[in-house]
Structure 1
Amino acid sequence: MATPRIHAAAALGDLVREARLAQGLSQTELAADAAVGRQWLVGLEAGDKASAPLDMVLRVLRALALDVTLAGSHREGRPVPERPTLPTASDILSRYEKRP
C-alpha cells in the first residue's frame, strides 16, 4: 500500500478514523493506546486539530501503525517550488576555518 500524502488536517482526521475503524478500535481504546485524551482524538478525527502538537499526532499514528507523508498544499496549476539546497556541515565549518 502506498504511503498516504496528507495535505490538510481534515485528510489526516479521515485517515486516522478509517484506520481506527478498520482495526476495530473505539476512540477510547485508541486514545488510551496513544496516550491522548478521547476528546482530543475526536477533534483530530473531525479535522479540528490543524495546530495539534506533533508529538500527539505521532503517538496516534504510531498506535495505528500508520506511515504518512505530510505535504504542503499548492494551488492547482502552480509548480511545486524546489527545495533550497542547504549547506552541509562541512560547508559551514569551512567558512569558519577561513576566518583569521
Structure 2
Amino acid sequence: MEEVFLPLIICGMLFVALPWIIFHYITKWKTAATLTTGDEALLEELYQVAKRLDSRMDTVERLVASDNPDFRPARLMHDRETDNQQLRELEGLLGKNERMSK
C-alpha cells in the first residue's frame, strides 16, 4: 500500500505543486515590475521640480554674470539645444505617455 502512495505523492508534488509555486511567483514578479499610478505621479512631480530648479539656476547664473564680468558658470550654457536634448526627449516621452493614457 505504501508503495502506491509514495509515487503518487511524488508525482503530484512534481506535476502539480511545483508548477503552481513557480507560476505563483512569476505572476508576483510580473505585477511588481510595473510602475503604479502613484509612482508615475511622483516621477512627474520630480520632473517638474527639476525643471523649475534648472530654470532658477539659469536665472542665478545670468544675474551673477551680469554683476561680475569675470564669472564663468560651472554649469552648461543657458538654453543651448545640445544641453537640453535629454530634457526634450523626456518631455516627448511624457507627452506620448499622457496621450496613451487618455
Instruction: Please give the TM-score of this superposition, normalised by the length of structure 2.
Output: 0.25
Taking CA–CA contacts closer than 8 Å with sequence separation of 6 or more, which of the two structures ends up with the larger relative contact order? Answer: 1
Q: TM-score, normalised by structure 1?
A: 0.25
* Structure with greater helix percent: 2
Larger Rg: 2
